[in-house]
C-alpha cells in the first residue's frame, strides 16, 4: 500500500497553547505552514510530556552559543 501523504513544513510562532480542558488536560498548539495555513496540534498530558521530552533531547544537542539555558532539572 502506497503512502500518499505530503510533508508540510511549519513553524511554531511563539503562540500560547489553547487549553480546552484542565481535567483531563487537553489543548491545541498552533503551527503556521509555509503557505500561511494554521496547523493545530492536539495535545493531552501524555503527548505534551512526550513533546517536552523530545524538545529537551533536541536542546541538549546545542553547543557554543546554542548551549541550552533550560534543562530538565530547571523544570521540576
What is the full per-residue pLDDT of the chain (76 aa) written as tens digits?
678 888 889 999 887 899 999 999 999 999 999 999 999 999 999 999 999 989 989 988 999 999 888 766 655 5
Phi, psi of 38 (to 5 degrees): -85, 130
**Whole-model pTM?**
0.75
Whole-number pLDDT of residue 74:
57
Whole-number pLDDT of residue 41:
94
In degrees, rounded to 5, the angle at the alpha carbon of residue 63 between the alpha carbons of residues 57 and 64 is 150
Whole-number pLDDT of residue 76:
57
Amino acid at each position: 500500500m502506497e503512502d500518499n501523504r505530503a510533508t508540510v513544513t511549519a513553524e511554531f510562532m511563539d503562540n500560547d497553547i489553547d487549553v480546552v480542558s484542565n481535567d483531563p488536560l487537553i489543548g491545541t498548539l498552533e503551527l503556521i505552514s509555509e503557505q500561511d495555513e494554521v496547523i493545530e496540534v492536539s495535545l493531552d498530558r501524555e503527548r505534551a510530556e512526550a513533546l517536552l521530552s523530545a524538545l529537551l533531547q533536541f536542546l541538549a544537542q546545542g553547543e557554543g552559543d546554542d548551549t541550552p539555558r533550560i534543562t530538565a532539572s530547571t523544570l521540576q
